[in-house]
Amino acid sequence: MVENKKTKNLKEFSTSADRFEGANLLCPGCAHSIIVREVLNATNDDLILSAATGCLEVCTAVYPYTSWDASWIHIGFENAATAVAGAEAMYKALKRKNRLLQPERVPKFVAFGGDGASYDIGFQWISGAFERGHDMMYVVLDNEVYANTGGQRSSSTPIGASATTSPAGRVSYGEKKEKKDMMAIMAAHGSPYVAQVSPSKWKDMVKKIQRGLNTEGPTFINAVSACTTEWKFAPEDTIAIADLAVDSLVFPLYEIIDGHELNITYRPKNVIPVKEYLAAQGRFKHLFKPEFKHILDEWQVRVDKKWEQLQRREEARI
Ligand SMILES: Cc1ncc(C[n+]2csc(CCOP(=O)(O)OP(=O)(O)O)c2C)c(N)n1
Ligand code: SF4
Ligand SMILES: [Mg+2]
């Protein structure tokens, strides 16, 4: 068992032992495992974890094996937040009654869920846990699709992506709805800390995870998780794709404190055109046909507008 002591600094982080083993059945190049390892490595504290059904759970706990070297609860697709919130409530009750066997060990409570489990099917359980104010962190592994069941669209799937339930074809350019803004929704719950991260910017990511873990109350992390299978790129390009996502500002890196104070935490020196990000993935390849040029143009306008909004909110400090 890992000793319970102060959160690691960056140097310690980069040299510490893993609590999430490399032995798992995730696709080669899957960003889920990179993100999970970074979350677990960002602290020395004891961890009570849960994972919703999805690629992460299915590929890391194939009976009788486990990739997790920490207390880990597999729970239904919809209620990873509830499982960890329940464990946190039990911990508090035992503490109040002086019944903790090792009161000096103070664990952190973290739930992991995919975008399908979080943006859609488990949303009300996340909302409930945040409204009740449990001391926990919720991490979304956001690959913008129900990957584990064959690539169906979720409310996180962006416009123009081809998914199995919003396929691109002769007349359709794929997904028609805009990606749900979970950052805004979770900030509106009054969460003390909400942040968006990318595994390609690991220092930024680790700082945010450490802040989320050390902030009292329910905190939220949305992590872009490039999916080699459903986004259709070569496994060795995972981090390059994550970099394109943040450098094109499709996936801007920022945090929102106490529901309102917004900080942009990474400003690309050279912002790349959105179409470079889209062109690198098979799920968008149909958008490069002449008849869908307007979709590409609209993408750039949308991203520019969102970036302006974020900057205005940061400046306004409201
Ligand atoms: C209530 C319920 N509905 C549907 C399923 C089937 N199911 C299991 S995993 C999954 C997809 C998970 O998608 P997501 O949460 O985005 O995680 P990913 O696999 O993409 O990491 C679905 C639909 C289920 N297990 N339980
Ligand atoms: S399908 Fe995507 S999310 Fe699932 S294991 Fe493969 S790369 Fe990871
Ligand atoms: Mg998903």
- Helix, strand or coil, per DSSP, at residue 82: helix
Q: Which of 60, 143, 237 to mutate to test ligand 2, by most ligand atoms within 8 A of the CB atom?
A: 143
CA distance 231 to 240: 13
| Atom 2 in ligand 2: residue holding the nearest Cα | 227
18 CB-near residues (< 8 Å, 6+ apart): 37, 40, 41, 69
pLDDT of residue 24: 94
DSSP codes joined into one string, 279-312:
HT-GGGGGGGSGGGHHHHHHHHHHHHHHHHHHHH
Q: Which domains does the chain have, with CATH numbers?
A: 10-316 (3.40.50.970)
What pLDDT score does 183 carry? 98
**pLDDT computed for residue 3 by the predictor:** 43
Backbone angles phi, psi at 293, to 5 degrees: -60, -35
pLDDT digits (tens, 9 = 90+) for 21-46: 888 999 999 999 999 999 999 998 99
**Alpha carbon distance 64, 7 (integer Å):** 32
pTM across the whole model: 0.96
Tell me the three-class secondary structure of 83-146, residue by residue: HHHHHHHHHHHHHHCCCCCCCCCCCEEEEEEEHHHHHHHCHHHHHHHHHHCCCCEEEEEECCCE
The answer to whether 241 and 34 have CB atoms below 8 angstroms apart is: no
Q: How many helices (H) and strands (E) does the chain have?
A: 11, 8
Please list the ranges in the chain whose pLDDT falls under 50. 1-4
Q: Is 73 helix (H, G, I), strand (E, B) or coil?
A: strand
Mutate which of 60, 227, 236, 283 for ligand 2 pocket (most atoms within 8 A of beta carbon): 227
Q: Is 79 in the pocket of ligand 1 (CB under 6 A)?
A: no
CA of 33, closest atom in ligand 2: 8
Rounded Cα gap, residues 253 and 247, in angstroms? 10
pLDDT for res 318: 64
Identify residue 308 by its one-letter amino acid code.
Answer: E
- Nearest C-alpha neighbor of 218 from the set 125, 115, 117: 125
